[in-house]
Structure 1
Amino acid sequence: MTSLKVSLSRRPPVDEQPIEIVERKGIGHPDTIADGIMERVSLELNREYLRKFGGLLHYNADKSLLAAGVTEPAFGGGRVIEPMLIVFGDRATTSFGGESIDLEEVVKRAAKSWIRENLRFVDPERHVRYQVEMKQGSAELTDIFRRGSKIMGANDTSAAVGYAPLSRTERVVLDVERFLNSREFKRDFEETGEDVKVMGSRYDNKLDLTIALAFVDRFISSEDEYFKRKDEVLERINSFLKERYSDAFDSIEVHLNTLDVRGRGVGGVYLTVLGTSAEGGDSGQVGRGNGVNGVISLMRPRSSEAAAGKNPVSHVGKIYNAYAYEMAREIVKEVPSIKEAYVWLLSRIGWPINEPTLIAAEVHTESNFEEIRKQVEEVLLRGISRIDQFVEKLIDGEIPVY
């Protein structure tokens, strides 16, 4: 039996608190690369299982390591000495009813397609090695998929939390990274790579942004040119912020590539061969990057589960992780007097995913709480009754998870 609990928040909304810290790791950050590739593996497995077996089979593809390669950046163009290595771990069903799939081929195909679509300067054939260590799943977890239920049983006892709406700081951090990796920006600044990290810190109503943005060495002929182009990028970022957020904060201060030091040549600038620090400076893992809403917000509760790569029909570490945010957004949308909402979902292994052991919400409102409690309960109950529709969207890749 599901327990339902709605309570009144005693803490002010994050936007009204004096300090806030938010981070976003861009599409070319090693941790985001790991998330993105394993989520693509998940989607490819979904398609392969549906094509070959008519339904999804047991798998989890949320364990991987992106080990950095070795490069030698140089003004005018450096070289790749040793390629990156992606190790794929966890479990997947490879045969059913006398039919089988080529798991290694599916996994490598997924990884290479993601790299081609998202990392302009990385050749998935030359710059990356692949090591597939995915094995057959446990008998009991695999059996969940053979029990014939329309709604799967949860394959783990797990909890998730989501919230809404995004704060001003969260929106800025998210928007800045997306802007820096947009087609428009890359057209005007082709020398910038996809490895972007944005750290935002708000003190009262003043926002400070520290941005790391990889430059690609083949487009930069000298140290002077690097700093010239860096100044132009910084000017464009400030223009973007002035256009979008001039009224949101008293001031916004931006710092770009703060490790740079003039006079030290290649050693004093953020220069890469392929546009990502994964080429030689930093490794990555699934689950160390952005939350399913795209940011890492240190003032918010966060689920411990990594959503990317998990199967979307029974693994609550993915389903509840994403759906908690969806339900929080629905609460804020349907009950306008609520300024901020948090939703927690708790599963019990083996129980149907539409029957969590606990659904809890905490809301901030200045209206009469007892008058809105029933509305919130209705949103939560309606939401959990429609979780199968949400699962279909996860299967099709319509719900972003990083």
Structure 2
Amino acid sequence: MRNINVESIRAPLVSEQNVEVVERKGLGHPDYICDSIMNQVSVELCREYIDKFGHIMHHNIDKGMLVAGSVSGRLGGGEINDPMRIIFGDRATFQADDTEIDVEHIAISTSKKWFLDNLRFVDPSIIEYQVELKEGSAELTDIFRRGARILPANDTSAAVGYAPLTLTERMVFDTERYLNSEKFKKDYPESGEDVKVMGVRQGENIHLTVAMPLVDRFVSSESEYFRMKDELLDIMNEFVNNYAQENYQPVTPSVSFNTLDMPGRGLGGIYTTVTGTSAEDADCGQVGRGNRVNGIIPLNRPVSSEAAAGKNPVSHVGKIYNVLTHVVADRIYQDVADVEEVYVWMLSEIGAAVDIPQIAAAQIRMSQGSVDSVGEDVKEIIDSELENIETFTQDLAEGKYPVC
């Protein structure tokens, strides 16, 4: 019934390639903020739609943007001149069966809660919120009224996922999560949330370039900034060296930190912020410009072009297949013997049920044995995951799978 293809891949493992480049945009990065907020708005809308109508209605909150504000930075504590602005864009269902949904309130209240929960020094009450969500088109909206247990795809779209993550990919991801962990922020409150980690592995050497602002209320002078910076850099180097040892990998990691800094130039030569995020005055953000759904930007890998964050989780294959391909790839890697690396591809056809892709394909590199010997096991895993897609999409609707 399902068109599933399994083949061998002859390309070298990413971990065996001489050069590997991986990026992660962290919690306070403007692009991450957009992805995370818009996806949470989708989760909250799903909850409201199910409560009011018994099922999820048409929406896609995936055209969001964060417009940077302006501040007057000052050692010892600066001030905000113009606040950030969050723009919510694309489509939602505002009314059905004579019942209205206050989409604007859900979008704004969800955004405010996200800021309260995630960014210590951002006051959500002064942020400007611009809701530009409109009703969807007749045909795409009708998908949700056709009564099908599993909805048709609302687009012809392709996605790809893979497993396992390389050491470089995991190190980049976990370094950002460490720097933005609750304990780290408690121990080093001067560290801002706008953490970006760029990793490059060349042979057995991994170098991470970290950008992370210091919050100016904790910095009394330029010399104090550089003292704090040196302390934080030592901690980062200790973390990545321990990380390599704990993973039993014969690599030599190193870190550089805030490399634009230049002593003697005052605020122009140091990276400080008032709120912990560059969105206050330096960088705007946009949905889809940040991490892929597995939390990194892996430049050595094929990746999906769709922005998953904010899309509806029951008919938009740009979200469903984006996440599902990674889930399926991980299961194949975990459950099928001797699989060294696997890529899973899925292609939808608009109007066809989301559990029946045009094609689902697995490309596999084996450590020993042949792909033919495991082909049926792989097909069975792919088929079972598609067979249970209704449960998967419900979990996606509840936000159980991260998308950034």
Aligned mates of 2:80, 2:67 — CA distance in 1: 14
Alpha-carbon offset, residue 368 of structure 1: 2.0
Aligned to 1:277: 278
Aligned mates of 1:218, 1:40 — CA distance in 2: 30
Aligned to 1:205: 204
Aligned to 2:3: 3
Q: Secondary structure at the match of 1:375?
A: helix
Query: Which shows bigger deviation, 234-243 or 269-278?
Result: 234-243
Aligned to 2:63: 63
Alpha-carbon offset, residue 283 of structure 1: 0.4
| Kept after mapping to 1: 8 A contact 2:241/2:252 | no
Aligned to 2:100: 100
Note if 1:359 corresponds to 2:360.
yes
Alignment of 1:294-373 (within 5 A): 294-365=295-366, 366-373=368-375
Note if 1:136 corresponds to 2:138.
no
Alignment of 1:53-202 (within 5 A): 53-126=53-126, 128-202=127-201
| Kept after mapping to 1: 8 A contact 2:20/2:300 | yes
Alpha-carbon offset, residue 240 of structure 1: 1.4
Aligned to 1:223: 222
Aligned mates of 2:389, 2:323 — CA distance in 1: 11
Percent of aligned positions with the same letter in both sequences?
52
Aligned amino acid, residue 83 of structure 1: P
Aligned amino acid, residue 252 of structure 2: S
Aligned to 1:237: 236
Aligned to 1:19: 19
Query: Which shows bigger deviation, 62-71 or 249-258?
Result: 249-258
Alpha-carbon offset, residue 90 of structure 1: 0.2
Aligned mates of 2:354, 2:158 — CA distance in 1: 12
CA deviation vs aligned residue, 1:121-146 (integer Å, no higher than 9, x gap): 000011x1110000000000110011
Q: Secondary structure at the match of 2:7?
A: strand
Alpha-carbon offset, residue 375 of structure 1: 1.5
| Kept after mapping to 2: 8 A contact 1:207/1:249 | no
Query: Which shows bigger deviation, 136-145 or 46-55?
Result: 46-55
Say what the alpha-carbon RMSD is for the aligned residues. Answer: 0.9
CA deviation vs aligned residue, 1:190-234 (integer Å, no higher than 9, x gap): 011110000000001110110001110000000011111111111
Q: Secondary structure at the match of 1:193?
A: coil
In structure 2, the gaps of 5 or more residues are none
Note if 1:377 corresponds to 2:344.
no
| Kept after mapping to 1: 8 A contact 2:151/2:314 | yes
Aligned mates of 2:337, 2:15 — CA distance in 1: 17
Aligned mates of 2:7, 2:218 — CA distance in 1: 56
Aligned mates of 2:237, 2:101 — CA distance in 1: 50
Query: Which shows bigger deviation, 303-312 or 232-241?
Result: 232-241
Aligned mates of 1:186, 1:364 — CA distance in 2: 41
Aligned amino acid, residue 20 of structure 1: E
CA deviation vs aligned residue, 1:253-301 (integer Å, no higher than 9, x gap): 1100000001111110000000000000000000000000000000000
Number of equivalences? 401
Aligned mates of 1:103, 1:304 — CA distance in 2: 27
CA deviation vs aligned residue, 1:340-392 (integer Å, no higher than 9, x gap): 00000100111110001100110000312221112111111111111111111
Aligned mates of 1:203, 1:280 — CA distance in 2: 35
Aligned amino acid, residue 59 of structure 2: Y
Aligned mates of 1:250, 1:119 — CA distance in 2: 34
Alpha-carbon offset, residue 303 of structure 1: 0.4
Aligned amino acid, residue 167 of structure 2: R
Aligned mates of 1:67, 1:235 — CA distance in 2: 34
Aligned mates of 1:142, 1:57 — CA distance in 2: 8
| Kept after mapping to 2: 8 A contact 1:63/1:286 | yes
Note if 1:396 corresponds to 2:398.
yes
Aligned mates of 1:197, 1:265 — CA distance in 2: 23
Q: What TM-score, normalized to structure 2?
A: 0.98
Alpha-carbon offset, residue 336 of structure 1: 2.5
Aligned to 2:290: 289
Aligned mates of 1:163, 1:377 — CA distance in 2: 16
Alpha-carbon offset, residue 7 of structure 1: 0.8
| Kept after mapping to 2: 8 A contact 1:210/1:255 | yes
Aligned mates of 1:367, 1:294 — CA distance in 2: 32
In structure 1, the gaps of 5 or more residues are none
| Kept after mapping to 1: 8 A contact 2:160/2:325 | yes
Aligned amino acid, residue 219 of structure 2: I
Aligned mates of 2:381, 2:101 — CA distance in 1: 41
Alpha-carbon offset, residue 165 of structure 1: 0.5
